[in-house]
């Protein structure tokens, strides 16, 4: 089966597989940005909450070490998500379009860049 060719602009043909790959990259970047924003919101809420202070006091007593390990794992995952968002934004050219850097767009509660340029 040969790849289907699609005219996007006069005189310019793009391979359908390349177009599909680009769409998947954009979809992945949006999903990762959403996950990073959700995790950032969760971590912000946790830092502000009284539960976090209580958990820290219990940790000092040795009662909440597992919870602290889970929190540490979430922080590591957050860092990885932020790095992946930055990598994908750079790959997809979002960092050139945005007004701020990648970390500020991925950590905003509005979801960062919500451009709708699907076609």
Indicate yes or no: pTM above 0.85. Answer: no
Taking the C-alpha atoms of residue 37 and residue 16, their distance in angstroms, rounded to an integer, is: 31
pLDDT of 105 = 47
pLDDT of 15 = 77
List all residues 6 or more positions away from 56 whose beta carbon is below 8 Å from its beta carbon. Answer: none
pLDDT in tens, 20-43: 888 888 888 888 888 888 888 887
């Amino acid at each position: 089966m040969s790849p289907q060719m699609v005219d996007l602009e006069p005189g310019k043909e793009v391979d359908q597989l390349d177009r599909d790959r680009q769409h998947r990259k954009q979809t992945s970047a949006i999903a990762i940005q959403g996950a990073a924003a959700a995790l950032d919101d969760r971590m912000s809420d946790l830092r502000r909450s009284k539960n976090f202070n209580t958990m820290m006091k219990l940790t000092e007593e040795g009662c909440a070490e597992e919870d602290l390990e889970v929190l540490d794992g979430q922080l590591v995952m957050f860092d990885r998500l932020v790095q992946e968002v930055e990598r994908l934004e750079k790959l997809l050219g979002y960092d050139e379009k945005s007004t701020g850097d990648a970390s500020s767009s991925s950590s905003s509660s509005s979801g960062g860049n919500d451009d709708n340029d699907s076609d």
